[in-house]
Amino acid sequence: MTITSSSSWQTLQDHAQQMQHSHLKELLLDESRFKTLSFAHGPLLIDFSKQRIDQHTLKHLVELAKTADLPGWITRLFNGDPINTSEARPALHTALREQAQTSLEVGGHNIIQDVQTNLSRMEKIVERIHSGQWRGYAGEPIDTIVNIGVGGSDLGPYMACSALRGARVNAGRHLKVHFVSSMDGSELADILGSLNPATTLFIVSSKSFTTIDTLSNAHTARKWLRDASGVNDTIINRCHFIGISANPAKMSSWGIADDNQLEFWDWIGGRYSMWSAIGLPIALRIGMDGFREMLQGAHSMDQHFLSAPLNENLPVLLGLIGVWNVNFLDIHAHAILPYDGRLIHLPAYLEQLEMESNGKSVNRVGESLDYRTCPVLWGEVGPNAQHAFYQLLHQGTESVMCDFIVSARRYEKTDNESLRSQHTLTLANCLAQSRILAIGSAVQQNDQPVPGHKQYHGNQPSTTLLLDELTPFSFGSLIALYEHKVFVQSVIWDINPFDQWGVELGKTMATSLLKPLQHQASDSEFDPSTHGLMRHIHQQQER
């Protein structure tokens, strides 16, 4: 039986018919709405009162979650059952933030012990770099870090380093931290000219250590060091390269020195890996204490997800309301709108987390689904997006669900009045936008009809995620919240959220195109478009 033939799905469909007729401007006339539809845990309050729901919707959605055995799936996730069935693995990112004294057996082995051992190794490396003991080929202390990675080996640490840049906790010497991901080498080419090879350390991050994007950038970086230093590869590898991977053999064959290797495991998905050694740039940027605070924030959300009743459980509600929007209100676009410049990379991070996890059209056993799954996600720092794509949110033809993310406190500890008022301005804009999206504008003003081009139809649902303050702890909670939200939705949609087979064919196809491109041979086995484009590229290259 599929979820769509369950009675809880049918009930929600009937309920949606009724709710289609209620506009948010009417729903928001209810004074008690905020009280009944906002929920808090730790430093995070989530307001669902601008969603097109009522108490019945939540009740029916919780029934749907029970029908899909969400509580059972949560237990299986945390217990380390091999729920990533297509790869026969558990998905144990939660173990990375588990308390040191607990234990969790996977294959007869306590993995919490491994996690702790790795954290200690990571801490030693951080100490050596922060104290200036880690020196480059010329004997000078390292002052610049370049993380080379892509996807899950880039987006998490990149986002966190930006989000937490002001939150240094016992972070030792200040280091410049750069991120390089793009296959075409453009980011690397941009920064190499301004870097000092003698004081630059590269972190090559790749779960598989086979990703061509990352290995190409690492190769270019090593060549740059070789040319600039004139020293041999053994010294370059020992002084200037750290590797982070679940594949130590590949790290070794690339040349990463044994002591410079940090490992994680195949039971951590790439896009769930910023809590592992992949988070080394975060620890270098904000200090190991800050990194541990971030883990604690995530752990606190894990505990909440495990133990809170479904109808008060933040990730459960966030996930279920997303399902409501997609499957019952027919909304297939989702905008991520942080009102905080530090969260500039959150949209890109969530694009991978959500769309690589749940962007699927077959169930866990490979059968086609007859219902919609992951919506299209995109986003931008909210105030900037106000001057860009909000026009479509307010007056376009697409229904879009929005997440507004903002902190209540920002510059309280400074005496900079001007910055404080900028924060107030930001809060005012955040609240104004979600309010207009919900209630729209009047169709009449002073007894005159408002012209169509000035009308705002409203009824665009949004959730506001209000952090007390952006700290390593609250940030860890926020990201774990989204991870679990994605899991909740995968359970309802009967999807395996931990594989990503849809990215494989592109890699094979690119390999088969390399030779004809390099040898300027146009191979007619390709389709006419690919063939024509190759011919044009060759003509341009011959000029």
- Looking at the annotation, which residues are catalytic? 356, 387, 507
Q: Is there binding between residue 147 and ligand F6P (CB under 6 A)?
A: no
Q: Report the 10 Å Cβ neighbour count for 509.
A: 11
Minimum CB separation from ligand F6P for residue 153, in Å?
Answer: 4
Give the three-class secondary structure for 290: helix
Nearer to ligand F6P, 106 or 150 (CB): 150
Please answer whether residues 93 and 268 qualify as being in contact, where contact means their C-beta atoms are separated by less than 8 angstroms.
yes
Nearer to ligand F6P, 70 or 204 (CB): 204
Of 33, 93, 207, 345, which lies in the binding site for ligand F6P, with binding defined by CB under 6 A?
207
Q: Is 132 left (phi over 0), alpha (psi -120 to 50) or beta?
A: left
Q: Is there binding between residue 503 and ligand F6P (CB under 6 A)?
A: yes
Minimum CB separation from ligand F6P for residue 92, in Å?
Answer: 16
Stretch of 98-106, 144-152, 342-350, 419-427 lying at the interface with ligand F6P (CB under 6 A): 144-152
Give the three-class secondary structure for 533: helix
How far apart are the C-alpha atoms of 31 and 155, rounded to whole Å?
41
List, edge to edge, every strand of the sheet that includes 144-148: 176-180, 144-148, 200-205, 241-245, 261-263
Stretch of 145-153, 283-291, 310-318, 409-417 lying at the interface with ligand F6P (CB under 6 A): 145-153
Q: Is there binding between residue 338 and ligand F6P (CB under 6 A)?
A: no
How far apart are the C-alpha atoms of 166 and 158, rounded to whole Å?
14
Minimum CB separation from ligand F6P for residue 2, in Å?
Answer: 27
Please answer whether residues 130 and 437 qualify as being in contact, where contact means their C-beta atoms are separated by less than 8 angstroms.
no
**What are the strands, taking DSSP E only, across 149-282?**
176-180, 200-205, 241-245, 261-263
Q: Is there binding between residue 151 and ligand F6P (CB under 6 A)?
A: yes
How far apart are the C-alpha atoms of 375 and 334, rounded to whole Å?
6
Q: Is there binding between residue 281 and ligand F6P (CB under 6 A)?
A: no
Instruction: Return the closest-CA partner of residue 350 out of 285, 275, 272.
Output: 272
Q: Is there binding between residue 206 and ligand F6P (CB under 6 A)?
A: yes
Of 150, 348, 486, 534, which lies in the binding site for ligand F6P, with binding defined by CB under 6 A?
150
Max Cα-Cα span within the chain: 82
Contact string (CB under 6 A) for ligand F6P, positions 350-369, x = contact: ------x-------------
CA atoms within 13 Å, Cβ hemisphere of 366: 3
Binding residues for ligand F6P, rule CB under 6 A, total 14
Nearer to ligand F6P, 147 or 211 (CB): 211
Instruction: Return the closest-CA partner of residue 98 out of 81, 112, 114.
Output: 112
Q: Is there binding between residue 214 and ligand F6P (CB under 6 A)?
A: yes
How far apart are the C-alpha atoms of 130 and 174, rounded to whole Å?
8
Nearer to ligand F6P, 404 or 498 (CB): 498
Of 15, 93, 222, 271, which lies in the binding site for ligand F6P, with binding defined by CB under 6 A?
271
Of 49, 84, 153, 237, which lies in the binding site for ligand F6P, with binding defined by CB under 6 A?
153
- Contacts with ligand F6P, residue ranges (CB under 6 A): 150-153, 206-208, 211, 214, 270-271, 356, 500, 503
